[in-house]
Amino acid sequence: MSQQKWSEVDAYYTDLLLRPNPVLDEVARACNAAGLPPIAVSEAQGKFLYLLASIQGAGKILEIGTLGGYSTIWLARALGEGGRLISLEYEERHAAVARDNIKLAGLDKIAEVRVGKALDRLPEIEANEEGPFDLIFIDADKPNNPNYLTWAMKLTKPGSVIVSDNVVRNGNILDEQSLDKNIQGLRRFNEMVADDSRVTSTVIQTVGEKGYDGFMLTRVIS
Ligand code: SAM
């Protein structure tokens, strides 16, 4: 199987199952035009996140890693009445594009982008008692995933869902000796999840227009 085939199948299902989405198309164009790296979730993956948050009946969502707000908008669209989303982003330039996109999507009253290193912004979320979150999407710097898991456990409650993207990385996750800090961070994160009796998890490997990767889905059970 080739990347071309994966992309064609993604396009087939996206055309078939996703309704025309002019605002999100415009958001993707704005991210490209601003020169943001093409590392947002795909349209199909965005819909997957939207469905997860909807099934969860999420009222509060925390995202770590905003980029141009593409996944933020998918997630925020799943929020019910009175829902709220906080997204943390290190790069001011990315956050500025995301804020414009969130406004374009008409979600600026419920979705907020906060700038800074996530590890610097998470303590205030705890201090201000802005959680617990029904869903946390971890999609930023992978070396910090172990720290993000620790924070996610503080900011969730039994029944909450934690989604982590890019946990397969073209299969490189198997390399125990990897010198890649992303792999090292993810492997440590995986071990922490595996050892934590408060959660239950699985990983679904994905192929598609974003190549070969995967999501970890975790439910907080106690
Ligand atoms: N979730 C986005 C989407 O699918 O549309 C993609 C996020 S992109 C994969 C990762 C983002 O995390 C980048 O915009 C990057 O600047 C941001 N990031 C990297 N390190 C960070 C940190 N320490 N704190 C917060 N954000 C960080």
Question: How far, in Å, CA of 2 to CA of 164, rounded?
Answer: 25
- Is the Cβ–Cβ distance between 72 and 102 less than 8 Å? yes
pLDDT in tens, 73-113: 999 999 988 999 999 999 999 999 999 999 999 999 999 99
CA of 144 to the centre of ligand 1 (A): 11
pLDDT in tens, 168-194: 999 999 999 999 999 999 999 999 999
Element (H, E) at 43: helix 43-56
Minimum-distance ligand 1 atom for the alpha carbon of 165: 9
pLDDT in tens, 104-146: 999 999 999 999 999 999 999 999 999 999 999 999 999 999 9
Q: Mean pLDDT of all residues in the chain?
A: 97
Instruction: Find, among 138, 188, 177, 190, the residue nearest to 160 by Cα.
Output: 138
Share of the chain above pLDDT 90, in %: 98
Question: Best substitution site from 67, 137, 181 to test ligand 1's pocket, by max atoms within 8 Å of Cβ?
Answer: 67
Share of the chain above pLDDT 70, in %: 100
Minimum-distance ligand 1 atom for the alpha carbon of 46: 4
CA of 62 to the centre of ligand 1 (A): 13
Distances, alpha carbon 84 to alpha carbons 25, 93, 159, in Å: 23, 23, 18
Minimum-distance ligand 1 atom for the alpha carbon of 36: 14
Reported ipTM: the value is 0.99
| Token pair for 199 | 């959660």
Please, what CATH class does the domain formed by 3-220 belong to?
alpha beta
Tell me the HSE value of 88 on the side-chain side, using a 13 A CA sphere.
Answer: 22
CA of 83 to the centre of ligand 1 (A): 22
Question: How far, in Å, CA of 218 to CA of 189, rounded?
Answer: 12
CA of 141 to the centre of ligand 1 (A): 6
Ligand 1 pocket, Cβ-based, cut-off 6 angstroms: 39-41, 65-67, 70-71, 88-91, 94, 117-118, 139-141, 144
Neighbours of 221 (CB within 10 A): 12
Backbone φ and ψ for 35, nearest 5 degrees, come out as: 75, 20
Question: How far, in Å, CA of 109 to CA of 161, rounded?
Answer: 23
Burial of 197 per CB tally in 10 Å (0-12, 13-18, 19+): exposed
pLDDT of residue 80: 86
Backbone φ and ψ for 202, nearest 5 degrees, come out as: -145, 165
CA of 67 to the centre of ligand 1 (A): 5
CA of 154 to the centre of ligand 1 (A): 21
Name the pLDDT band for 147 (thresholds 50, 70, 90).
very high
